[in-house]
Chains A and B, each alone.
Chain A
Amino acid sequence: DTEVTQTPKHLVMGMTNKKSLKCEQHMGHRAMYWYKQKAKKPPELMFVYSYEKLSINESVPSRFSPECPNSSLLNLHLHALQPEDSALYLCASSQDWLAGLEQFFGPGTRLTVL
């Protein structure tokens, strides 16, 4: 199984809502990532978890809160988002958090903030 799954595929939320994005992998990978991708732009790294511990936070606003409940799951909790947060949110995983290792990407959650 070389698949990273993400739910939901689409999400529309208001600025006062609280929602969560979910990501799952069963490849035994120990590094997991959240990226944000705006239309016609490259993915931008948001967070890196290595061995279930937050290793990188790329100065992401606190209205985005990541969580790694176990080695297979990665969540992104959303609260009080702004319209400019609308984007495709991609999850990825790799065997370990070392340079040169392939990152496997999920299909993404397309988020629209009204």
Chain B
Amino acid sequence: AQSVTQLDSQVPVFEEAPVELRCNYSSSVSVYLFWYVQYPNQGLQLLLKYLSGSTLVESINGFEAEFNKSQTSFHLRKPSVHISDTAEYFCAVASGTGFQKLVFGTGTRLLVSP
């Protein structure tokens, strides 16, 4: 069975500092990888996804993630965070064999302070 590990439950950073949120997955088949963000009292929004092709994927608001097959990782990075980036970030994986069942990690709370 697939699993997703987000080792950091909470990451505190100062505004304009770089940040990396870690995600590791376990799967023996091809996978699709996603990062979702959840702001307080809201649903989940897709931040970015890896399906195939270039291993570096970017979002419109400055986040990027790199798919590393050998390390089974899909870490999320941003070179300079804003206060408004404070949210819960979930990494998720779906098997590349037909029907989609998303398996979520336990989430990382990013806390950006001034």
Chain A residues with Cβ below 8 Å from B44 are 43, 90, 92, 105
| A99/B43 in contact, CB under 8 A | no
| B99/A99 in contact, CB under 8 A | yes
Tell whether B13 is near chain A: CB-to-CB under 8 Å.
no
| B45/A99 in contact, CB under 8 A | no
Give Cα distance in the complex from A99 to B51, angstroms: 9
- Among B32, B36, B42, contact of A99 (Cβ-Cβ < 8 Å): B32
A110 → chain B closest CB, angstroms: 8
Given contacts A90-B44, A105-B43, A107-B43, contact A99 B107 (CB under 8 A): no
- Among A42, A45, A92, A105, contact of B101 (Cβ-Cβ < 8 Å): A45
List 23 interface pairs A-B (beta carbons < 8 Å), by A numbering: A6-B43, A31-B100, A43-B90, A45-B101, A92-B43, A92-B44, A94-B100, A98-B98, A98-B100, A100-B32, A100-B49, A100-B51, A100-B96, A100-B100, A101-B100, A102-B46, A103-B100, A103-B102, A105-B45, A106-B43, A107-B43, A108-B42, A110-B41
